[in-house]
Amino acid sequence: MRYNKNIHYRLLAVGMEDMMKGQPIKQGDKSAKQAGILTKKIYLYARLSQEDEQARDSNSIVNQRSILTKYAEENSLTPYEFVYDDGYSGTDWERPAFSQIIEDVEAWLVSTVVVKDLSRFGRGYLKVGFYSEILFPKHDVRLIAVHDNVDTDLGENDLAPMVNLFNEWYVKSTSRKVRAIIQAKGKSGERIAVVPKYGYRKIENDTGKIEIDEESAAVVRRIFNMYANGIGAKGIAMALTSEGIRNPTTYKSKSGILKKPRPTGTTTYWNASTVTGILDAQEYLGHTVNFKTYSKSYKDKKSRKNAPQNVMVFENTHPAIIDVLCC
């Protein structure tokens, strides 16, 4: 059960109820921390991502849980709460379960966080250092990395910074190799976009190929026809919104096209830029368009528009939704 910030916490120390009567203790109240009277959480945290594919058996969520629960029970770290992020990179610091832990840490609700090793906590020298050496000590949180022999209750571990540096180097090295593979595939004409364009879906058991998704393709054809009849992008967006047609992000999330559904906000709101993006997309002619965007480094999560000379177009690679003559 989630703790609510407005909940008053029961005083656990004998005799403290009378002493503190009329002074309810709230989440995040430093007087609660100093009195040591909050029942704090012990988190066992696991993480697995595609970057761990080669060590999938040893790093599996099931295996991590087994290691963590065994350690917790043998070291009297109970009761505990096991949480995990499956399919999230160690450089992604907005992982759902991890974010929940940090939220509780900042609210003084956590006593201990246990991970299999520091790479499960995250991959990034500066970020891991911030959490383990600044945020956690500030909130009296103990961090244990079982296989790295890290326990902040036993003092500083001289090897921990080196482990974090190695974990970051591993991500950088892996990223370089992945980029090389993507470059090779993209230049050979393979589609490198992870999510197919609205109007298409991946062919089951052949993720490199796409096929027409008839329900959303009908909306795409309608957009092109409306534009050909003189209706602008803004007018098209207003019409689709007023009719309650799900926008592309919502449709992909609800139909299973996106493996990790995204928060969609207003599910039927269309804006002009979304419509313009559809009208400009060469993919609807049956072409594969690679390298439309790029990022500066493996730490950079922002996609930037690539220069036209760096974009590669391969014609007639999949079924077309519209014909150049239709509009």
For residues 277-301, average pLDDT: 84
163 and 44, same domain (yes or no): yes
d(CA 80, CA 46): 13
Establish if 127 belongs to a structural domain: yes
Establish if 12 belongs to a structural domain: no
CATH code at position 251: 3.90.1750
Report residue 130 as tokens: 């911030």
44 and 163, same domain (yes or no): yes
* 57: helix, strand or coil: helix
Tell me the pLDDT band of 185, cut-offs 50, 70 and 90: confident
310 and 255, same domain (yes or no): yes
> Model confidence over 254-274: pLDDT tens digits?
877 776 655 555 688 999 999
Residues 6+ apart with CB under 8 A from 126: none
Establish if 158 belongs to a structural domain: yes
244 and 132, same domain (yes or no): no
For residues 307-327, average pLDDT: 84
The better pLDDT of the pair 67, 168 is held by 67
What are the C-alpha distances in Å from 102 to residues 90, 107, 302?
15, 9, 23
CA count, 13 A, side-chain hemisphere, 108 = 17
Does residue 22 carry a pLDDT above 90?
no
149 and 246, same domain (yes or no): no
Q: End of a domain among 133, 168, 203?
A: 168
Q: End of a domain among 168, 199, 226?
A: 168
> Model confidence over 217-235: pLDDT tens digits?
999 999 999 999 999 999 9
225 and 146, same domain (yes or no): no
| φ and ψ at residue 78, rounded to 5 degrees | -135, 155
- What integer pLDDT is reported at residue 17 of this predicted model? 35
206 and 308, same domain (yes or no): yes
d(CA 309, CA 277): 19
The better pLDDT of the pair 91, 236 is held by 236
Establish if 143 belongs to a structural domain: yes
Establish if 176 belongs to a structural domain: no
CATH code at position 92: 3.40.50.1390
158 and 199, same domain (yes or no): no
Domain count, the chain: 2
Segments forming the whole domain that contains residue 139 = 40-168
104 and 72, same domain (yes or no): yes
Q: End of a domain among 109, 134, 168?
A: 168
Tell me the pLDDT band of 162, cut-offs 50, 70 and 90: low
Does residue 5 carry a pLDDT above 60?
no
Establish if 234 belongs to a structural domain: yes
Does residue 16 carry a pLDDT above 60?
no
262 and 226, same domain (yes or no): yes
Establish if 30 belongs to a structural domain: no
Q: What is the value of pTM for the model shown? A: 0.49
Residues 6+ apart with CB under 8 A from 88: 47, 49, 95, 96, 98
d(CA 161, CA 287): 48
229 and 159, same domain (yes or no): no
> Model confidence over 200-211: pLDDT tens digits?
998 887 767 899
Does residue 6 carry a pLDDT above 60?
no
> Model confidence over 23-35: pLDDT tens digits?
333 334 444 455 4
144 and 213, same domain (yes or no): no
> Model confidence over 103-134: pLDDT tens digits?
999 999 999 999 998 889 988 778 888 898 88
| φ and ψ at residue 298, rounded to 5 degrees | -65, -20
Establish if 324 belongs to a structural domain: no
Does residue 18 carry a pLDDT above 50?
no
